[in-house]
Chains A and B, each alone.
Chain A
Amino acid sequence: MEDSEAVKAALDRGTIVTDLNAKTKDEVFEALAGRLKEQGYIESVDSFLDALHDREKEGATGIGGHVAIPHGRSDTVRKNGIAIAVLHDEIAWESLDDTGAKVVVLFAVGATDEGSQEHLKLLSLLARRLAKADVVSDLLEASDVDDVIAALTK
C-alpha cells in the first residue's frame, strides 16, 4: 500500500518503546511524554500531560482490543508526533470494551493547524490502521521497535 511509506516516515524510532514496565496510565504518559521531550516534539512535559488528561476527561481513549490512543492537543507541542509504547503487562485503561491497554499509541498535536495538515493526514491514516484486527494482533506481539514499525506499515 502506498500509504505505508508515508506512515513509516511519520514514525520515529526515538519515540517508540517496547516492553515498558508501567503499572498505571500516568506512568505510561510520563514515559512517552519524556521521549517526546527528548526528541524535541514538545516544550514542556507538564503542559503536555495536562493536555492528555484534558482529553481523557472527555471519554475513553481505549479503542478496544487492548489498544489505547490517548492524544493531546497543546501549544507546547513544537512539531506533531507519535509516541508508541508496548507494555510489558496490560494495565487498566478506560476502553470501549472490557480490555485494558497493552499497546498505547499517543498522538501529540500542536494547537494551531498551520503547516500541520500533512501530518494530521498521517495520523488519520495511522488511526485507520489501528482499526484493523491484524495490525493490532501484530502490535500486541511486538517485542522490539522494528516489530512495531513493521506492524504499522505492512
Chain B
Amino acid sequence: MKIVGVTACTIGIAHTYLAQQKLEDAAKAAGDDIKIETQGTIGVENALTQQEIDDADIAILAVDVKIQGEERFANHKVVKVSTETAIKSPNKLIAKMHEIAGK
C-alpha cells in the first residue's frame, strides 16, 4: 500500500531523521511505498504534495511537536504517534497501519 507521513521532534536534529529512516525501512520490508516528510531545524525536506497525500492509503504522523500543514491530512486515515514509538517499533507500527487501512 501507499504510505505518507511526517516526522518532527522537539530539537529537530536527530529523532526526526531516525524516525524517517526507521519508517522507510520498515515499510519497504513490508512491500509498501512510503514517503516521509521531515520537519526539522533545517526546515521541511522531502515535502509531500497534496496529490501524494490524497493518493496514499494511510498517513503516519510521528511527531512530538505541532507540525506545519497538519490540515493537509484532514480527510485521511491518520495514525499519530511520538517519534520514539516510530524509532522503537517501526515494524509493529507498519503492521498496525495495514490493519487500519484494511490492506
Which residues in A have some Cβ–Cβ distance to B below 8 Å?
Answer: 55, 58-60, 63-64, 69, 71, 73, 96-97, 107, 109, 113, 117, 120-121, 123-125, 127-132
| Contact in complex: B14, A123 (CB < 8 Å) | yes
Provide the bound-state CA to CA distance between A69 and B15, in Å: 9
- Residue of B22, B25, B40 near A124 (CB, 8 A) is B40
Give the Cβ gap from A112 to chain B, nearest Cβ, in Å. Answer: 11
Question: Which residue on chain A has the smallest CB distance to residue B23?
Answer: A131
Provide the bound-state CA to CA distance between A60 and B77, in Å: 29
| Contact in complex: B84, A132 (CB < 8 Å) | no
| Contact in complex: A124, B17 (CB < 8 Å) | yes
| Contact in complex: B88, A127 (CB < 8 Å) | no
When distances are taken between beta carbons in the complex, the residues of chain B under 8 Å from A71 are 11, 13-14
Give the Cβ gap from A94 to chain B, nearest Cβ, in Å. Answer: 11
Q: What per-residue 1/0 map shows which CB atoms of B32-72 lie under 8 Å from chain A?
A: 00000010111001000000000000000000000000000
Provide the bound-state CA to CA distance between A71 and B25, in Å: 24
Give the Cβ gap from B77 to chain A, nearest Cβ, in Å. Answer: 25
Provide the bound-state CA to CA distance between A123 and B18, in Å: 11
